[in-house]
Structure 1
Amino acid sequence: MIKIDPLDFDSALFGYPVGKADIEFSSSEKEILEASKSFQLVYLFSGAPLDFQSKQIIPTGETVQFSKSLEGSSEEQKEVSVLAQSPTKDHLSLAFQSGKFSRFKTDQRLTNGEFEKLYSIWLHKEYQEGKVFLINENQGLISVSGSGNNAQIGLFAVDKKFRGQGLGRKLLEHLEFQLSQKGIKKLTVKTQRANSVAVNFYVKNGFREVGSRFVCHFWDRE
């Protein structure tokens, strides 16, 4: 039996019922559609790619998780500073650029500004917690969340006009330095398999892949 968990935050933000579910390979399409009928949008997570006939369910990609030990050396970067003012349009632009491959961006059925709402809230929340770092004011940003010995990269982007200058590496190195100073031992990050630039960047900078999940979206057009 498939259980759809309601997502109160997403539902309030998007303005319609949203849920999520973990789907087993043995789950039938009929069961999924029946369980999802009370929702307009459902995130369906699985450990392997699933094939559906219904046009209401479409694959939105594979999310990959990477992990890195912070026991190695890192350096503070003088060009990097904490975002100390309410995010501007330039900062929002960076947040949106970080989500270029997000399933909320690539699912063309989401036409009510879901992607922009979600990433704007995300940026403002981490700014309020003092967890957004900028390089050269607005050329790139990286944010972080988590507690205890673990931290997770959230938003991470270098403006398209300034790429290829090593700014992403400097942002990452500065973040690793700050976390190490606080005694945090591990840094994780999630990205999309389709984002080959990000995948290669993390591997090049010492991260190792530790898991992945395939995601589909159920969408009720009515």
Structure 2
Amino acid sequence: MVKKLDWDSDFFGFPIGRIDVNADRSLHNVEELAKEFKLIYFFSDYALDWPGLKHVDTKLIFQKKVIHREESVFNNLGEISFSSFNLKTDSYDEIENLAYLSGEFSRYKLDEKFGENNFRKLYKKWLDESINKNIADYILVAQYKTRIIGFVTLRIDNYGTGQIGLIAVDPESQGRKIASKLIRACEEKINDGQFLNVSTQEANLGAVKLYYKNDFEVVEKKYIYHYWQ
């Protein structure tokens, strides 16, 4: 059964559906079910080898239990400071560029049928909705002097679990443990003993290494495919 994704369909301007594969099924049946859609997302717990499917992501969901430290990154008096993003005083252009950078391994970026414009449109929407606090509770930034060189968005659900959305560090500033400190900044917004989740692409080796280094563990793995009509 194909589930129509109303938000995706309205946003991209063509009918999009989703199939969660939890048992073997023939592609012939899928072709019949997919008649009304231009694009179907397939989410599977195992790798699929069906004609017409484009593998666009192996998604890893990481999780860690938060244990607070005495030293706060927000009290750091070094050359790099950490704070909440302020639209009135901070540069939107700088954080927008970082938002696009955060999606470099995204399936919306890697699947050329979406196109660069749709990718940027989606990540700008994600950023704007985060700034407006519709899908994020915090946007935390790392700044060198007045320039934003890294950022992260964080949502905390009703159970106290944190979810990192977008995270990126300016390429010229990488290798200075800024991403790790942004993760710590997220942890400080979450109650001690609660969990912090983040997802990334298995192909994004830098991000995978970052999360393992910061004591996350993989709790779920999904294979994602696109099927275009």
Tell me whether the two structures share a fold, i.e. TM-score over 0.5: yes
Out of 133, 138, 145, which is 1:131 matched to?
138
**Larger deviation, residues 92-101 vs 73-82:** 73-82
Alignment length, in residue pairs? 214
Shift of 1:72: 4.3
Partner-residue secondary structure (3-state), 2:36: coil
Partner-residue secondary structure (3-state), 2:29: helix
Out of 182, 197, 205, which is 2:214 matched to?
205
Amino acid at match of 1:132: I
Q: How is 1:19-30 mapped onto 2 (pairs within 5 angstroms)? A: 19-30=17-28
Shift of 1:110: 1.0
Q: Deviations over 1:130-164 (max 9, x none)?
A: 51111004100000123122111000000111111
Q: How is 1:120-199 mapped onto 2 (pairs within 5 angstroms)? A: 120-129=124-133, 130-136=137-143, 137-147=147-157, 148-180=159-191, 185-199=194-208
List runs of 5+ in structure 2 lacking aligned partners.
75-80
**Larger deviation, residues 19-28 vs 78-87:** 78-87
Equivalent residue for 2:107? 103
Shift of 1:74: 6.2
Q: CA RMSD in A?
A: 1.7
Q: Deviations over 1:102-143 (max 9, x none)?
A: 101101111262211211111111111151111004100000
List runs of 5+ in structure 1 lacking aligned partners.
none
Amino acid at match of 1:28: S
How many Å separate the matches in 2 of 1:13 and 1:75?
A: 43
Partner-residue secondary structure (3-state), 1:62: strand
**Larger deviation, residues 124-133 vs 40-49:** 124-133
TM-score (normalizing by structure 1): 0.90
Change (3 A) 1:74 1:168: farther
Amino acid at match of 2:85: L
How many Å separate the matches in 2 of 1:145 and 1:184?
A: 17
**Larger deviation, residues 171-180 vs 206-215:** 171-180
Partner-residue secondary structure (3-state), 2:95: helix
Partner-residue secondary structure (3-state), 1:178: coil
Equivalent residue for 1:117? 121
Shift of 1:40: 1.1
